[in-house]
Structure 1
Amino acid sequence: MTGPLEGLTVVDLTQMLAGPFASMLLADQGARVIKIEPPGGDNTRRIGPHLPGALTMEQGGYGSYFASINRNKESIVLDLKADEGRAVFTALVAQADVVIENYRAGVMERLGLGYEALAALNPKLVVAALRGFGDPRGGESPYTNWPAYDPVAQAMGGIMGVTGPVPGGAPTKIGPGVGDIMPAMFLAYGIACAVWRAERTGEGQFVDIAMVDGVLAVTERIVYQQSTTGVAPAPEGDGHPLLCPFGLFKAKDGFVSLGIPKDEFWRPFAKLIGQAELADDPRYATNLERVARREEVNALVTAFTVMRTKSELAEILGGTIPFGPVLRADEIFADPHFRARNMLVDVDVPGANRPLTVAGTPIKMSATQGGVRRRAPLTGEDTDTILTELGYDAGARAALRASKAVA
């Protein structure tokens, strides 16, 4: 098997990051994902960086952004505004298990391809949508028609409001596109749940994920804090509002992350940093006391870490208390953990003189291991295979190309 989802067919209409990341998660676990690209291809094909020799924008594009999140997929280009293109799409839908789309609300309906129409073709079909503020089927938001992207989801979903370098200071955007990726994870999870039910009952359903909802679900702590205290949480800096010491501390050559989530870690930690007399000091013995003396505790931890390199601190603290150096990308490439866990995977890039390294799947299974099996497709690379499977002979395929419904 190529993964636990082998045999599942997904028709993927998504573009950019959030939707393709969700379908990538399914493809990594063995699902057959047929990517429907618009004429000209997914826009991320043209977004850099590009390996030297990779296809240029004029050749359709094969940027590393696209290559990373579209591995394990097939590609066909369809013009869904053309009758012939929609006919190919509905033929695919009739044989598929899942359709994923991330258009604005109402676009699929205007094409005559809304959930109800697709469900009439295939009652077992799971149709999943990922939008900034959700689909009206899941709850009519006042922002339903607003466009959204990662920083908007981060801002309105609450995570940006508690992220910032200075406690109580200005918010800041989280580096990776978590406003896209976290909702994408929920979308893949929702699809898996719906498919499980469809297999048992023969009934599909509509799965609706809003990007801002997905971000709020991950930022769940602010909800119960607000409910309990009536005080809106603010940016937390590099620490934790409820634990101490807990967060980032400066080292001689960068930063390290360490924490004392349980009081039993304090005693060995105090000894390791040369403060054995503090191990049984009642002023520091409990987390409650340490939080009350946060600045003092953080200062004594920093006084120890700032005089040592990250590797020296790893020798002293690693394996005894929760600890890890803050790694740059080059350090991740050099760290043995990530190769041992198959988290750095090399894939071919057409035209380039070396492979591209992409992040592997973190899901490890003993019997049905998924992972990166093939590079991302060229624009429309699998068109003939897909059309032939649908019953289009050479003449019919030529006619589709001549009509420009298929490219």
Structure 2
Amino acid sequence: MAGTLSHIKVLDFSRVFAGPWAAQMLADFGADVIKVEHVKGGDDVRHMGVPHLDAEGNPTGETSSFLAMNRGKRSIGLDLKHPEGQALARKLIAEADVLIENFKTGNLARFGLDYAAAAEINPRLVYCSITGFGQTGPMAHLPGYDPIFQAMSGLLSMTGTADGLPGAGPALVGYSISDITAGQYAVSAILAALNHRDVVSGEGQYIDISLLDTQIHAASHMAMNYLSSGRLPRRNGTASQITCPWQAFDCADRPIMIAIGNDPQFARFCDYLGLDGVAEDPRFATNLARVTHAEELVPMIAGKLAEKQADTCYAELEAIGIPAGPLNSFEDVFAMEQVQARGLLKALDHPRAGRVSYVGNPVRFSKTMADDGRHPPLHAEHTDEVLREMGLDEAAVAALRDAGAVK
């Protein structure tokens, strides 16, 4: 089966995380994604992150970060500063449906590859720019990385240990959430623009994605809580600020996560713990009351759970319909029967890294497939292949390579 986007050609001019993540998602959905990399070194993330090890524990020359963001693509090496490299880029643009880039604001205009120029070549092109601060505003010229946006978006005001407790202070989210979030917004926007082109206007358009904007928007209900009440969110460890009990508790052997979503669940939970009369107590009878009186309620729950073994507790809570879960490591995650049943852990063969395990695309279509398993490309692995598809013969490709326009 072909993917849902098997009719779409994407040019991925982006590097590092947000743009490549968006392009990989489109590749997983079947698009032909051509990753356009600099002739010298390629994507920066080829040299960042944890070295990928082979079965014997030896470095393979690949990095975990590149492997995570570039599955399903073909790579060509192109020097955009070279006139012939620019000419090739324009030829690619003429046949593309989507272009994704994350150069600093205004940089591609120096090469005649900005949206205005690209739209002259191909009016049907959907052109998506992903930058730290967007194309407008006083900070538009600035670069930035994920922790900057976690800090500036207000996210770090909500993560970590509360003031006054040991270890108080913010805690960085453990993955590049701002990049991944921006990439997901980019995918949604690109698909919306393609639909508008094909159903309504017949024309492509420009998309401006900002990591700061998307991270603030992704704060969603927490930002709205502040706008509704004027109360700033606080750092609260694993505990929710709007629902109680909704946090990790220590069992006798290890922690367990509890998430009580409504009053009937809380009543059953109290029965399970032997907290007689607590569910009917006006201080705890409703969620709002429980949040207000959390400092009284949480120690009572913690005392009861501290007497139980985590696995036993989890099984017993599951049996009575109380949402709970273990605090897993990735070793635990990939050993879960549920994860295995869903087929999330996959493997593919890589010409340098050997057999590579990876997390498969989680989307399940009923009639088309996602994720065809094309390995993350070697640097410029497909230059000759792509140029031949553009009509260039071996002599022309060799001349371009000799001139330094391609790798």
- Could you tell me how far apart the structure 2 residues matched to 1:259 and 1:42 are? 41
Specify whether residues 358 and 385 from structure 1 end up closer, same or farther in structure 2 by C-alpha distance, changes over 3 A only.
Answer: same
**Conservation of the 8 A alpha-carbon contact between 1:53 and 1:352:** no
- Could you tell me how far apart the structure 1 residues matched to 2:176 and 2:344 are? 19
31-40 or 370-379: which moved more? 370-379
Shift of 1:307: 2.8
Matched, 1:375 2:378: no
**Conservation of the 8 A alpha-carbon contact between 2:156 and 2:172:** yes
Task: Please name the residue that 2:188 is paired with.
Answer: 189
Shift of 1:374: 1.5
- Could you tell me how far apart the structure 1 residues matched to 2:296 and 2:367 are? 50
Equivalent residue runs for 1:82-231 within 5 Å = 82-135=82-135, 140-166=136-162, 169-200=168-199, 201-231=201-231
Normalised TM-score (structure 1): 0.93
Task: Please name the residue that 1:51 is paired with.
Answer: 53
Shift of 1:215: 0.4
Shift of 1:255: 2.1
- Could you tell me how far apart the structure 1 residues matched to 2:222 and 2:286 are? 24
- Could you tell me how far apart the structure 2 residues matched to 1:398 and 1:309 are? 67
Counterpart AA for 2:213? D
- Could you tell me how far apart the structure 1 residues matched to 2:280 and 2:123 are? 66
**Conservation of the 8 A alpha-carbon contact between 2:13 and 2:101:** yes
Specify whether residues 298 and 97 from structure 1 end up closer, same or farther in structure 2 by C-alpha distance, changes over 3 A only.
Answer: same
Match of 1:272, SS state, is helix
Task: Please name the residue that 1:291 is paired with.
Answer: 291
Aligned residues with identical type, % of pairs: 36
Match of 1:50, SS state, is strand
**Conservation of the 8 A alpha-carbon contact between 1:3 and 1:30:** yes
Specify whether residues 258 and 372 from structure 1 end up closer, same or farther in structure 2 by C-alpha distance, changes over 3 A only.
Answer: farther
- Could you tell me how far apart the structure 1 residues matched to 2:343 and 2:3 are? 15
- Could you tell me how far apart the structure 2 residues matched to 1:189 and 1:50 are? 31
Specify whether residues 233 and 96 from structure 1 end up closer, same or farther in structure 2 by C-alpha distance, changes over 3 A only.
Answer: same
**Conservation of the 8 A alpha-carbon contact between 1:245 and 1:258:** yes
- Could you tell me how far apart the structure 2 residues matched to 1:93 and 1:363 are? 29
- Could you tell me how far apart the structure 2 residues matched to 1:128 and 1:254 are? 46
Match of 1:213, SS state, is helix
Task: Please name the residue that 1:348 is paired with.
Answer: 349
Shift of 1:283: 3.5
Q: CA offsets per residue over residues 267-320 of structure 1, 9 Å max, x none? A: 111112222443434442211222222022211222233333332122111251
313-322 or 72-81: which moved more? 313-322
- Could you tell me how far apart the structure 2 residues matched to 1:158 and 1:14 are? 26
Task: Please name the residue that 1:329 is paired with.
Answer: 330
- Could you tell me how far apart the structure 2 residues matched to 1:278 and 1:162 are? 29
Equivalent residue runs for 1:222-241 within 5 Å = 222-241=222-241
- Could you tell me how far apart the structure 2 residues matched to 1:308 and 1:102 are? 51
- Pairwise CA RMSD of aligned residues? 1.9
Shift of 1:52: 3.3
Shift of 1:398: 0.8
Shift of 1:329: 0.6
- Could you tell me how far apart the structure 1 residues matched to 2:303 and 2:3 are? 49
Shift of 1:177: 0.5
- Could you tell me how far apart the structure 1 residues matched to 2:253 and 2:372 are? 34
Shift of 1:377: 0.7
89-98 or 312-321: which moved more? 312-321
Match of 2:175, SS state, is coil
Task: Please name the residue that 2:42 is paired with.
Answer: 41
364-373 or 7-16: which moved more? 364-373
- Could you tell me how far apart the structure 2 residues matched to 1:306 and 1:2 are? 52
Shift of 1:82: 0.4
Shift of 1:170: 2.3
Tell me the number of residue pairs that the alignment of Structure 1 and Structure 2 aligns: 399
Shift of 1:253: 3.6
**Conservation of the 8 A alpha-carbon contact between 2:314 and 2:326:** yes
